[in-house]
Structure 1
Amino acid sequence: MKSRCVVNQFDNYFNLFSLPVELPIDKNTLNRHYQQLQRQYHPDNFATENETKRLAMLQYSAEINQGYQILKDPIRSAEYFLSLQGVASDAEQTIIHHHDFLMQQFLLREQLEQIEMLTDNVVQQQALSDFSQTIDQLWQQNQQQLLSSIQQSDWSVATAQINQLRYLHKLQQDIESLEDKLFDL
């Protein structure tokens, strides 16, 4: 008996996961729907089907995975949301015009470099922990500003917030790298 292969048509990843087209995304619902779709459309379920159906299911499974990766990431999901509104996220053009933010990033990077050069391991760990909390607070503030600008359909501010979140995310990654170095000692 052959299994029936019906691929749901979707016009965006929000619809694919039965989510409202809005931010923030309910991560629990996203995860639950992702698991359901993976069970339903896993390529192994179609191993006995003809090659065309197997390839279609493989492609659909890849699309499910790609959609999940985009929607679970706050920056990528915001970019995707804006793209659905017809707004291109142009990082280079937006950030250049935010002198205050660039100056803040310069000072934060300088502060991280100073923490990295501390010689007392205990002092360094505490300074890094405090710095990490500061960056997390900045992330939360920028995330709230992003959501507010989206609610107001202020796409230029939303784009700027996304780009600022990219910088903060990079800084968070650098903090994690330094933490890894410290705990490897």
Structure 2
Amino acid sequence: MLISDMLSVNSRIVRSSRAVLHLNWLMTEPLPVYKTVTCLAHFPSKDIWHSNMTLRPRSKTRELICYSNNANVPRGYCTGQVKLNCWKCKQPIDKTPAFFCMSCKVVQPSEEGTSYFKIMDCDYTFTLDIQKLQKRYLQLQRSLHPDNFSQKSMKEQEYSESQSALVNKAYKTLLKPLSRGVYMLKLQGMHIEDGTESGTESEFLIKLMEINEALHEAQTPEEANQIGQDTKGKLTDLTEQIDTALRQGELHAAKALLVQMKYYANVEEKVKKKLSEFM
């Protein structure tokens, strides 16, 4: 049966005016290994459409398998394993993300779209293990740092730079609660834009103004430090509340709390600047 016939069969099975899934892949270059992915289509509503389809083209072409998966995975992201070959020795690479080939030990190209949690080998949770994150970061940078590849080929130098940059970005994003929470919302299709005052309660904004005024008028390090301690306590409370909201799937509540955390994090930075003025 031709691929077009098989797609036609699938299109008769899935009849929904709300769902359109565009699958684009190249079938012209032969690949000796299979590529397996999990696909989710993202719609404006809370519905999640699961693709359950197997396409087996003729020999010397790649095989695409779409299969159903848990509905709790982040929207719009591919979560299945992608099996590829090493660019140099052509041996299969079974582990993702793949930093090095297990056969020839050569650095591999970075994989776009890979979750930062997966790159840093961390559980998908807001209250992740920071010590584990830092240990993983140091381990990866020791092996991927571009200085280690100064005598290697241009391709290896390029791949090491891209891998190292990706690890840096993943580490910095997951290190701080604010950027970590914003990233987790992004994986779920929600964004926190700049200038979020319009969606923030006026009572909260007034309280924030009072804190900023008190910090501006602080005459001693002790006064500024007290504001800093109060702010730190508030950030701790917000971290617990955000964790609870994300665990319960209350994304809009988590977003509102993250907006508050953004403001308090800004106050915390101002406190540091104020304390430096007393030195």
The reply to whether TM is greater than 0.5 is yes
Distance between the aligned counterparts of 2:227 and 2:235, measured in 1? 12
Identity among equivalent positions (%) equals: 21
* CA shift digits 1:113-171 (9 cap, x unpaired): 232xx3xxxxx232222222211111112221111111111111111111111111111
CA contact (8 A) 2:225 2:271 kept: no
Number of matched residues?
175
Give the alignment's TM-score, normalised by structure 2.
Answer: 0.58
- The 8 Å contact of residues 106 and 156 in structure 2, kept in 1 or not, is answered as no
The residue correspondences of 1:1-185 to structure 2 (distance < 5 A) are 4-7=106-109, 9=111, 11-93=114-196, 96-115=199-218, 118=219, 124-183=220-279
- Kindly indicate whether the alpha-carbon contact (under 8 Å) linking 1:90 and 1:159 is maintained by their aligned counterparts in 2: no
Query: CA contact under 8 A between 2:107 and 2:159: conserved in structure 1?
Result: no
| Root mean square deviation, CA, Å | 2.0
**1:90 Cα deviation from its structure 2 partner:** 3.1
Q: 1:32 to 1:95 in 2, by over 3 A?
A: farther
5+ residue gaps, structure 2: 1-103
Q: Larger RCO: Structure 1 or Structure 2 (Cα < 8 Å, ≥ 6 residues apart)?
A: 1
Structure showing greater radius of gyration is 2
Greater Cα offset, 38-47 or 74-83 = 38-47
Corresponding letter in the other structure for 1:180: S
Counterpart residue identity of residue 154, structure 2: E
2: CA distance, partners of 1:91 / 1:61: 28
Structure with bigger helix share is 1
Tell me how far apart the structure 2 counterparts of residues 134 and 26 of structure 1 sit (CA, whole Å): 25
Aligned to 1:121: none
SS in 2 for 1:76: helix
| TM-score between the two structures when normalised by the length of structure 1 | 0.85
For residues 132 and 142 of structure 1, the distance between their equivalents in structure 2, rounded to whole angstroms, comes to 15
| C-alpha contact (below 8 Å) 1:79/1:89 kept by paired residues | yes
> 2:225 and 2:150 mapped to 1: Cα distance?
50
Cα deviations across residues 73-132 of structure 1 (Å, max 9, x unaligned)?
A: 2111111111112222235346533222111101111221232xx3xxxxx232222222
For the 8 Å contact 2:245–2:253, the answer to whether it is kept is: yes
Range 146-155 or range 27-36, more displaced: 146-155
- Secondary structure of 2:278's counterpart equals helix
Note if contact 2:110-2:162 (Cα within 8 Å) is conserved in structure 1: no
What is the Cα deviation at residue 48 of structure 1? 2.7
Q: What are the ranges of 5 or more consecutive residues in structure 1 without an aligned counterpart? A: 119-123
**Aligned residue type for 1:125:** P
Q: 1:126 to 1:42 in 2, by over 3 A?
A: closer
SS at match of 2:195: helix
